[in-house]
């Protein structure tokens, strides 16, 4: 029973962190083509179903904690790129981008690419990605000391006395503390059935090239590559190509409903891939399956979930995410710098990733990966720094 609660609470936390970080961005992106609540609800339903079904299917098939997610860099790109397009043209972009992901997976390029990524460079990049989430705890503590401080105290006390229940206590505290302190935002909780707004695609070649290709690139580089590296870093090695193909198919099939880009999760997946989810690595896939179930529930209860997240202070969600990812960044820093031969390339990859500069419109995670691999090739072939 305790193990089941740990798995379910880890899955719930992963979904909670994922939604709290970007659900408002999805609503903003949808509003660029149609600001109706029906379309926004449809988009949330689409991504919830796509992520839920693909997460459950992949985790059960490979017996590994494989989470999928929407592309947060992708939705940020859409906010600035969809203006002026019709809803049908936007769907055409989604179909095109997801189709490219399917082709990339089926071709086997994804598997070949992962073989060229040194493990310590991958761990350094993941640590760099996670750093901004963990460091967000301190500003939250300064802004809302009672809520953030209460969550921090809950985390360390729970880890000391009930380590398997850490996520459950954190979830309860994240909801209870804002309620008890009267710091919930003035927002009415909305309860409504999900809307099914199915839109057939229209292919605008200018939009496909100007929006579809960048959406494909940022989804692959900023999401799928870190997602695979996170799995590898935590000791799981399912074949890359079927995973990439599955996420592409999920997005492709539900694009007319609003699934703009589905990919492997990295940051939220990490929550289900550590010993806090389950001491036995072979059983952690059950936490991912639980997360898949919560994804589907989130999609079906889109309007209520959105209003709930709008009610919670940002400090609560930021602190929850940072605490949940603290063990993950610790593990990746250890892996990145455990060997002297790889410390130099790992340090460079880490610094470039932390810089968070999108050079040429491509995220710093890609440049950290590229530069780290080049430095590793040049400096480590003779086992020297």
Of residues 157 and 303, the one with the higher pLDDT is 157
Question: In which band, very low, low, confident or very high, does the pLDDT at 129 lie, cut at 50, 70 and 90?
Answer: confident
- 186-214 residue pLDDT tens: 666 666 677 788 899 999 888 888 888 87
Residue 13 CA to residue 234 CA, distance in Å, equals: 18
183 phi, psi to nearest 5 deg:
-110, 25
- 77-103 residue pLDDT tens: 787 778 888 999 999 999 999 999 999
pLDDT of 262 over the 70 cut? yes
pLDDT of 221 over the 90 cut? no
For position 186, what pLDDT does the model report? 64
Residue 382 falls within a domain, yes or no?
no
pLDDT of 75 over the 80 cut? yes
Structure tokens that stand for 68 in this block? 């999928």
> Of all residues in the chain, what percent carry a pLDDT higher than 90?
24
Highest mean pLDDT among 44-53, 212-221, 232-241, 351-360: 44-53
Grouping H, G, I as helix, E, B as strand and the rest as coil, residue 66 is: coil
> DSSP letter string over 149-208?
HHHHHHHHHHHHH-GGGHHHHHHHHHHHHHHHHT---S-PPP--------------HHHI
Residue 31 falls within a domain, yes or no?
yes
Residue 262 CA to residue 57 CA, distance in Å, equals: 14
Residue 355 falls within a domain, yes or no?
no
Which residues touch 26 (CB under 8 Å, ≥6 apart)? Answer: 40, 43, 44, 47, 70, 75
Entry pTM = 0.72
Of residues 272 and 381, the one with the higher pLDDT is 272
Residue 190 CA to residue 182 CA, distance in Å, equals: 19
The number of domains in the chain is 1
For position 385, what pLDDT does the model report? 45
Residue 332 falls within a domain, yes or no?
no
For position 55, what pLDDT does the model report? 96
Mean pLDDT of 23-28: 75
- 152-174 residue pLDDT tens: 998 899 888 877 677 778 878 88
Residue 228 falls within a domain, yes or no?
yes
Residue 337 CA to residue 335 CA, distance in Å, equals: 6
pLDDT of 383 over the 60 cut? no
Residue 340 falls within a domain, yes or no?
no
Q: Which structural domain range is residue 262 located in?
A: 2-325
Residue 246 falls within a domain, yes or no?
yes
Residue 354 falls within a domain, yes or no?
no
């Amino acid at each position: 029973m305790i193990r089941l609660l740990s798995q379910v609470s880890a899955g719930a936390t992963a979904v909670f962190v994922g939604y709290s970080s970007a659900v408002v961005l999805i609503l903003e992106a949808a509003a660029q083509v149609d600001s109706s609540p029906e379309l926004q609800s449809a988009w949330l339903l689409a991504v919830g179903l796509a992520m839920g079904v693909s997460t459950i299917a992949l985790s059960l098939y490979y017996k590994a904690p494989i989470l999928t997610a929407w592309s947060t860099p992708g939705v940020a790109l859409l906010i600035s790129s969809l203006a002026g397009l019709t809803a049908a043209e936007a769907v055409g972009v989604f179909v095109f981008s997801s189709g490219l992901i399917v082709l990339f997976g089926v071709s086997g390029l994804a598997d070949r690419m992962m073989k060229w990524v040194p493990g310590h460079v991958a761990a350094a990049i993941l640590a760099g990605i996670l750093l901004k989430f963990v460091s967000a705890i301190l500003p939250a503590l300064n802004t809302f000391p009672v809520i953030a401080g209460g969550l921090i105290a809950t985390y360390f006390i729970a880890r000391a006395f009930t380590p398997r229940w850490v996520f459950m206590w954190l979830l309860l505290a994240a909801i209870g503390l804002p309620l008890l302190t009267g710091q919930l935002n003035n927002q009415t909780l909305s309860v409504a059935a999900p809307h099914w707004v199915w839109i057939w695609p229209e292919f605008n070649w200018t939009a496909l090239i100007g929006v579809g290709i960048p959406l494909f690139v940022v989804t692959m580089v900023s999401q799928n590559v870190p997602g695979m590296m996170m799995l590898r870093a935590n000791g799981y090695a399912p074949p890359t190509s079927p995973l990439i193909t599955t996420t592409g198919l999920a997005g492709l099939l539900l694009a007319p409903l609003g699934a703009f880009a589905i990919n492997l999760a990295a940051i939220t997946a990490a929550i289900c891939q550590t010993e806090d989810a389950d001491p036995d690595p072979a059983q952690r896939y059950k936490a991912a399956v639980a997360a898949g179930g919560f994804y589907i529930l989130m999609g079906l209860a889109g309007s209520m979930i959105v209003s709930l997240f709008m009610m919670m202070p940002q400090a609560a969600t930021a602190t929850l995410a940072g605490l949940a990812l603290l063990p993950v960044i610790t593990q990746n820093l250890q892996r990145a710098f455990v060997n002297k031969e790889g410390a130099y390339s790992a340090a460079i990859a880490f610094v470039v990733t932390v810089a968070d500069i999108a050079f040429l419109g491509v995220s710093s995670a890609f440049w950290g990966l590229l530069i780290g691999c080049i430095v590793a090739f040049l400096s480590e072939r003779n086992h020297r720094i």
